[in-house]
Amino acid sequence: MGMIGGGSDAFIGAVHRIAALMDGQIELVCGAFSSKPEKSRTTGEELFLPPDKVYGSYQEMIEKESRLQEGERMDFVSIVTPNHLHFDPAKLALEHGFHVVLDKPMTFDLSEARRLKKLVDETGLVFCLTHTYTGYPMVKEARYLATSGKIGQIRKVYVEYPQGWLSTSLEKTGNKQADWRTYPKRSGMGGALGDIGTHAANLAEYVTGSKITKLCADINAVVAGRVLDDDASMLLKFENGASGVLFATQVAAGEENCIKIRVYGEKGGIEWKQDDANSLVIRWMDQPVEIRRAGGNVGYLSSFALHNTRTPSGHPEGYLEAFANLYRNFTLTVRAKMNGKEPKAEWLDFPGVEDGVRGMLFIEKAVESGKSDQKWVDVGD
Amino acid sequence: MGMIGGGSDAFIGAVHRIAALMDGQIELVCGAFSSKPEKSRTTGEELFLPPDKVYGSYQEMIEKESRLQEGERMDFVSIVTPNHLHFDPAKLALEHGFHVVLDKPMTFDLSEARRLKKLVDETGLVFCLTHTYTGYPMVKEARYLATSGKIGQIRKVYVEYPQGWLSTSLEKTGNKQADWRTYPKRSGMGGALGDIGTHAANLAEYVTGSKITKLCADINAVVAGRVLDDDASMLLKFENGASGVLFATQVAAGEENCIKIRVYGEKGGIEWKQDDANSLVIRWMDQPVEIRRAGGNVGYLSSFALHNTRTPSGHPEGYLEAFANLYRNFTLTVRAKMNGKEPKAEWLDFPGVEDGVRGMLFIEKAVESGKSDQKWVDVGD
Amino acid sequence: MGMIGGGSDAFIGAVHRIAALMDGQIELVCGAFSSKPEKSRTTGEELFLPPDKVYGSYQEMIEKESRLQEGERMDFVSIVTPNHLHFDPAKLALEHGFHVVLDKPMTFDLSEARRLKKLVDETGLVFCLTHTYTGYPMVKEARYLATSGKIGQIRKVYVEYPQGWLSTSLEKTGNKQADWRTYPKRSGMGGALGDIGTHAANLAEYVTGSKITKLCADINAVVAGRVLDDDASMLLKFENGASGVLFATQVAAGEENCIKIRVYGEKGGIEWKQDDANSLVIRWMDQPVEIRRAGGNVGYLSSFALHNTRTPSGHPEGYLEAFANLYRNFTLTVRAKMNGKEPKAEWLDFPGVEDGVRGMLFIEKAVESGKSDQKWVDVGD
Amino acid sequence: MGMIGGGSDAFIGAVHRIAALMDGQIELVCGAFSSKPEKSRTTGEELFLPPDKVYGSYQEMIEKESRLQEGERMDFVSIVTPNHLHFDPAKLALEHGFHVVLDKPMTFDLSEARRLKKLVDETGLVFCLTHTYTGYPMVKEARYLATSGKIGQIRKVYVEYPQGWLSTSLEKTGNKQADWRTYPKRSGMGGALGDIGTHAANLAEYVTGSKITKLCADINAVVAGRVLDDDASMLLKFENGASGVLFATQVAAGEENCIKIRVYGEKGGIEWKQDDANSLVIRWMDQPVEIRRAGGNVGYLSSFALHNTRTPSGHPEGYLEAFANLYRNFTLTVRAKMNGKEPKAEWLDFPGVEDGVRGMLFIEKAVESGKSDQKWVDVGD
């Protein structure tokens, strides 16, 4: 793996590295960690990389690595830069034959997203978009239950992502995370919409196996002086006839990061939330509540849930393991392709370029709806 | 107390009686429990009423009781009939000088609600609308925190009321509760909207001390063949500048009755839900989460919370005690008025006729919005 | 019902009255509320009793009432005095033909308990000891599961009752509740042992349907200057071969009143705690966790659980309703006996004089064990 | 790092590798993964080790590696074999100058433990015993609160470790994990006592900063035919005057792995349990309950808690991260020593050889107490 972005003070870069390394199947072999060469260099040192494997720019890295032989060169790139710096390195990597892991939201705007999808489709390379929450085993179990008819035809979907960290003008205090996320030239059209709204929308579409077809949004910049939205609520309609509600806010003061989804079918409902990530609550009509629990030894779980656990039940796995599951499944798929083998369904179960297009569409349509007097906006494909 | 409605197979009539009797301050002295005389009679027997205090109709009860002397006659009526039978008995009782406890939603439609408000205002009699959830001590604590500025200016309000009991066509199976609630001639314009949506809207306005000014609703009759809505979701705007989301559904299969509210201000957020009714969760920026607990011995609670508990902390009080708090405060107010005394602020803290008008307005505007292509509908006063 | 004790500042007297009145099946007709006539009189007034039904002493009440005719006189007495004043009024009531409700622990010492049992057995009168926690519907469901073999042969029992209110020398501040509970002449041999330890032991024996045969106890008076124990922990052996742990403490600073029991059999385990009183958690080998929920509409519950609920699931019932269930079942049994009918099994399911003897035996043996160097003490019968 | 044991079907070996690799600070450079050379070889292949770095025995590995130069050879060994194979490789590693990570319980018996301690003391090498649970940030916060006087002098300690996986004769089904743990020649004197009881005892001593001085134990082999204990309960006395209860059982059918501790001081109590590992509940006298939350951005946490988190609050970290914290702190200490620097207090905060001696003492004394008729057994040093 070669990494683009992720200098030593970046939150998500460190997370990507932990996730990639945890299972002992991926090695960090090179990096272009920052547009500032000095910072890239010191980050490389901290990561025990030899100096010649720390590049001054992603262009240099992709070009030089592509001239090396398989086994010597990196097998894929992981891109963890701010949104406006997603498309170019991804494009260059794909053009040079490298598989790509890319942080979400996929691109700066929808147009870039569609171009990237075209490129992925044409090259046939493996592409992973890190919608972390779909990596949790109990989210996979939720999807299994919702899409296999176990809870009957789906009627209602409620998904929420409350955060509070942008309740004040944090971006004016020098906080780097807050800075780029609230700055349109780096973040794109969406603030909270892009940062966490896309996670919520992706989770809803993943768990239900159904697309959002219409939305009606109330989009706000709550904190004075903020240009991009920090708060979004919307009514949803789904392809399968279900309706629902999504909210994503970064001004719910005191809230941490507890993304949560509830899906109700004719026969029962399922609930998952990150704060109790190893449980899946299933409520049935006229039967006791059922709680399924993550764990490699749990006989009643689906193969998708089991494949994404490392420990027996009662040994809580969390955010980093969910993230690592994306890397693991991506890697298993890459390796299968490199070995000319057919990847298993469980390996292919990671978010890809189509999810990225959906995310950018979601942002654009939500922003459009927020400005409209009409109730419903069609989301399209 | 004299009761109108509440024959032996009615859910809410029994609840009202338990709530009224629990504190030993109210005596059931007469009743017109059913339009069927035989049923009224047997109900009266089961309740140990003398035969001459069980009336064949509410008209008879109100007229005969009004001719008795104070001390012999009932002091107030409690009306627990289906929605279409709220206005007439309430009007007659007020006209005969009786204070009134009335089940929600207040009337069949908004026009009746406004007429009733006029009558209450003119007579100066005490009127209580049983929005049960505002009777919980920790809901009162939530209101105290939200309206006293403790969490800063309010920005976001999320309120939800998920039920699952109407996930099937229960009304076709002879279930009496389901029958009238899904039947427009008895329930009015709203199904879930009237039955539980009004509770959610009332809870939001009570806790925040602010009125809903605009709404944008998605209203559905999810179960095939149902005429009235069984599902509602809406975006909200509040008088104080806050925005929010409300949903109330009776097709969330497997859900019981866990009404829940979250309110976020600039400094922190509060969360209350019925399934953990004796706790109030308060989240702060940069401080530990705080959980306030109900209990008569809890020194840090507001006088409003303390006044509405009967036991020390750790002795859970529930739905029936919350309901009893409405009766208790209503009764304390009635008694103060009868004795020419000024009721305390804590006693006056029960839902009244203005809440009832708000509720009917909420139903009408939500139904209107559900049919509209425009995004926002003004709620008005 | 006539009440002995329960003057207006007594915690448990008010609880008994709410519990008795809630269901509209019991009327408070007379009382001897305090050994101080003035206090008895004012309590009677607050409770709307006619002056001639407020007696100066329990002796007077029992004698005068016994001379009245059935229908005019009280049907039973409820005794809510401190422990040292349990036996005499109970004895007198039984001797005059009155059924008795008595607060726990049953008597001042084991000898009194055995004499009282003899008297109840001889008179054939109905006797209820208010071990409140066995009145919860989900405790009854737990007993049903544990005694019907659903979780297999029972192996382990863990029961705990942590409180914190005696963490300081509250008894020296004039707190009446603390005062008599820490004073040997009023409380008996046990402090925490009598006040809450007996509840825990009773809960364990009730749920498992098996008696404690041996115990090994560590008994402490943690707060300096306290004579009676405020803290007890013990290892247990049961008749059915199970073993377990019980602890009851009043110096777990910050704890409220969350009595909790866990019982494990060969196939699974059950857990109930008062803070989530309407749920019963059942864990199985190799199956999802199951949560049964209280509610009159819950089809899968045992008849014993269903009989002891008043509302549909999701309308939380609490401590006062559990207490009311004792009164309700006692009353149903009394009424059946008065009408010459056979009480149903569900009605007879309330704690009686045998539970009281067990409780006093528990206190004596725990105190004995606390002083002994030997590991196990036999509990006996 | 070189690994001894941990062939591909071993649970704890894989956990050690994930924990060691996660932070990108440790490289697996060699291994002797099994006493069966073929299995060692295939494990090495799966881990991408060059064939010449996969050794046929730990003796061979230690000897050959010790002849290599620093930078080429492993810096430390990680020993993850069954208990009877702990002492010899640890001894050999220390004698050849390697730092050691060793799985718990430390040795086969107390005598080995004392000899190992002597060797560690003499060599001055760094030694880590993997009592995982002390690696959780909120356990460190608990220790900080308990040992800094924040909750006042400690009075009560309740620690429990319920598991259900040995509720049946799993060891007779070919389950390798069950097999050696229930077999005295591999496990030592203790079954559940060694496997999980030592964790519970270590957690209690770590959080309170006080040693267990006396215990009174009930030790059982519940499942028929089992030689070693599968269930233990005991009363405890601590050095600081506190008393408490410990139970550890592997026959609580349905339970997973939820180790939990509660510690009460004069002013308040703290509670931590693995199933909600990122929260620490603190209950105070007369103040709201407080919940501290793990997270690198949480300003109010102690430096010990902060040092042991990787992500902001709301991104749950779990068992593997707790385990990784042991490796991280061990490594930071090793590196500091190699560089001649003084390790920080936060780095030195991992379980060591003294914890291992305490654990073996705990097992021996608990077994002794289980067989004794006397109540208390002194634990000693």
**pLDDT given at position A185:** 87
Q: CB of A318 within 8 Å of any CB in chain D? A: yes
Distance from C-alpha of B338 to C-alpha of A112, rounded to nearest angstrom: 74
Q: How far, in whole angstroms, is CA C194 from its chain's centroid?
A: 11
Mutate to test the interface with A, among D311, D325, D331 (most CBs of A within 10 A): D311
What pLDDT tens digit does each residue of chain B (381 aa) get? 999 999 977 788 999 999 999 999 999 999 999 989 899 999 999 999 999 999 999 999 999 999 999 889 999 999 999 999 999 999 999 999 999 999 999 999 999 999 999 999 999 999 999 999 999 999 999 999 999 999 999 999 999 999 999 999 999 988 888 888 888 888 889 999 999 999 999 999 999 999 999 999 999 999 999 999 999 999 999 999 999 999 999 999 999 999 999 999 999 999 999 999 999 999 999 999 999 999 999 999 999 999 999 999 999 999 999 999 999 999 999 999 999 999 999 999 999 999 999 999 999 999 999 999 999 999 998
**pLDDT given at position B111:** 97
Contact B369, B190 (CB under 8 A): no
Mutate to test the interface with C, among A289, A300, A301, A306 (most CBs of C within 10 A): A289
Mutate to test the interface with C, among B315, B331, B332 (most CBs of C within 10 A): B315
**pLDDT given at position A70:** 87
pLDDT tens, D149-173?
A: 999 999 999 999 999 999 999 999 8
Burial grade of A70 (CB within 10 A; 0-12, 13-18, 19 or more): exposed
Chains contacting B (3+ CB pairs below 8 angstroms): A, C, D
Closest-CA distance, D232 to chain C, in angstroms, reads 10
Chain mean pLDDT for chain D: 96
Q: Is pLDDT at D10 greater than 80 in this prediction?
A: no
Type of residue at D361 = L
Type of residue at D261 = I
**pLDDT given at position B187:** 84
**pLDDT given at position B250:** 98
**pLDDT given at position B177:** 83
β-strand partners of C244: C157, C236
What percent of chain C stands above pLDDT 90?
A: 92
Stretch A115-143: mean pLDDT, rounded? Answer: 98
**pLDDT given at position A266:** 98
Distance from C-alpha of B5 to C-alpha of B2, rounded to nearest angstrom: 10
**pLDDT given at position C299:** 95
Chain mean pLDDT for chain C: 96
Contact C30, C65 (CB under 8 A): yes
Distance from C-alpha of C233 to C-alpha of C224, rounded to nearest angstrom: 19
Distance from C-alpha of D125 to C-alpha of A281, rounded to nearest angstrom: 48
Q: Which residues of B fall within a CB distance of 8 Å from D300? A: 286-288
Q: Is pLDDT at A163 greater than 90 in this prediction?
A: yes
What percent of chain A stands above pLDDT 70?
A: 100
Q: Indicate yes or no: CB of A288 within 8 angstroms of CB of C282.
A: yes
Q: Indicate yes or no: CB of B291 within 8 angstroms of CB of D286.
A: no
pLDDT band at A182 (very low <50, low <70, confident <90, very high): confident
CA-based nearest residue to B110, from B377, B362, B375: B362
Among D155, D164, D375, the residue with its CB nearest the CB of C372 is D375
pLDDT tens, C180-236?
A: 888 888 888 999 999 999 999 999 999 999 999 999 999 999 999 999 999 999 999
Stretch A225-241: mean pLDDT, rounded? Answer: 97
Chain mean pLDDT for chain A: 96
Q: Is pLDDT at C297 greater than 80 in this prediction?
A: yes
Scanning B224-283 for CB atoms below 8 A from D yields 282
Q: CB of D21 within 8 Å of any CB in chain A? A: yes
Closest-CA distance, D248 to chain C, in angstroms, reads 11
Torsion of CA C221, C224, C227, C230, to 10 degrees: -30
Measured distance between the N- and C-terminal CA atoms of chain A, rounded to whole angstroms:
32
β-strand partners of D115: none
Write phi, then psi, for B260 (nearest 5 degrees): -145, 145
Distance from C-alpha of C11 to C-alpha of C320, rounded to nearest angstrom: 12
Among C162, C233, C262, the residue with its CB nearest the CB of D235 is C233
**pLDDT given at position C255:** 98
The SS3 of residue D256 is coil
pLDDT tens, C87-141?
A: 999 999 999 999 999 999 999 999 999 999 999 999 999 999 999 999 999 999 9
Distance from C-alpha of D318 to C-alpha of D332, rounded to nearest angstrom: 21
Residue A168: C-alpha distances to residues B145, B149, B269, B290, D135 (Å): 20, 17, 14, 21, 33
pLDDT tens, A25-64?
A: 999 999 999 989 899 999 999 999 999 999 999 999 999 9
Q: Indicate yes or no: CB of C288 within 8 angstroms of CB of A286.
A: no
CA-based nearest residue to B102, from B123, B118, B117: B117
Q: Is pLDDT at C270 greater than 90 in this prediction?
A: yes
The helix or strand, by DSSP H or E, that contains position B88, with its residue range, turns out to be: helix B87-95
Q: Is pLDDT at A123 greater than 80 in this prediction?
A: yes
β-strand partners of A129: A102
Q: Which residues of C58-88 are buried (b: 16+ CB within 10 A; e: fewer)?
A: beebbeebeeeeeeebbbbbbbbbbbbbbbb
Q: CB of C285 within 8 Å of any CB in chain D? A: yes
pLDDT tens, D295-319?
A: 999 999 999 999 999 999 999 999 9
Q: Indicate yes or no: CB of C316 within 8 angstroms of CB of B311.
A: no
Q: CB of C291 within 8 Å of any CB in chain A? A: yes
Type of residue at B221 = A
Among A11, A315, A321, the residue with its CB nearest the CB of D257 is A315
Distance from C-alpha of A27 to C-alpha of A48, rounded to nearest angstrom: 11
pLDDT tens, A260-304?
A: 999 999 999 999 999 999 999 999 999 999 999 999 999 999 999
Closest-CA distance, D165 to chain C, in angstroms, reads 8
Distance from C-alpha of C143 to C-alpha of A13, rounded to nearest angstrom: 54
Closest-CA distance, A143 to chain C, in angstroms, reads 17
Among C290, C299, C300, the residue with its CB nearest the CB of A290 is C290
Distance from C-alpha of A378 to C-alpha of D60, rounded to nearest angstrom: 69
Distance from C-alpha of C102 to C-alpha of C351, rounded to nearest angstrom: 10
pLDDT band at D174 (very low <50, low <70, confident <90, very high): confident
The SS3 of residue B307 is helix
Q: What is the ipTM of this complex?
A: 0.96
Burial grade of B228 (CB within 10 A; 0-12, 13-18, 19 or more): buried
Mutate to test the interface with B, among C311, C325, C327, C335 (most CBs of B within 10 A): C311
Q: Is pLDDT at A318 greater than 90 in this prediction?
A: yes
Among A156, A164, A167, the residue with its CB nearest the CB of B249 is A156
**pLDDT given at position B61:** 97
DSSP B243-262: EEEEEEES--TT-----EEE
- Give the max Cα distance, chain A: 65
Among A152, A283, A375, the residue with its CB nearest the CB of B255 is A283
Distance from C-alpha of B147 to C-alpha of B265, rounded to nearest angstrom: 10
Q: Is pLDDT at D255 greater than 80 in this prediction?
A: yes
Distance from C-alpha of A135 to C-alpha of A324, rounded to nearest angstrom: 8
**pLDDT given at position B150:** 97
Q: Which residues of C fall within a CB distance of 8 Å from A289? A: 290-293
Contact D306, D298 (CB under 8 A): yes
pTM of the model: 0.97
Q: Is pLDDT at C11 greater than 90 in this prediction?
A: no
Contact B45, B1 (CB under 8 A): no
Secondary structure of chain C in the HEC alphabet?
Answer: CEEECCCCCCHHHHHHHHHHHCCCCCCCCEEECCCCHHHHHHHHHHCCCCHHHECCCHHHHHHHHHCCCCCCCCCEEEECCCHHHCHHHHHHHHHCCCEEEECCCCCCCHHHHHHHHHHHHHHCCCEEECCHHHHCHHHHHHHHHHHCCCCCCEEEEEEEEECCCCCCCHHHHCCHHHHHHCCHHHHCCCCHHHHHHHHHHHHHHHHHCCCEEEEEEEEECCCCCCCCCCEEEEEEEECCCCEEEEEEECCCCCCCCCCEEEEEECCEEEEEEHHHCCEEEEEECCCCEEEEECCCCCCCCCHHHHHCCCCCCCCCCCHHHHHHHHHHHHHHHHHHHHCCCCCCCCCCCCCCHHHHHHHHHHHHHHHHHHHCCECCEECCC
Q: Is pLDDT at A113 greater than 80 in this prediction?
A: yes
Type of residue at B258 = C
Q: Is pLDDT at D71 greater than 90 in this prediction?
A: no
Q: Indicate yes or no: CB of D290 within 8 angstroms of CB of B290.
A: yes
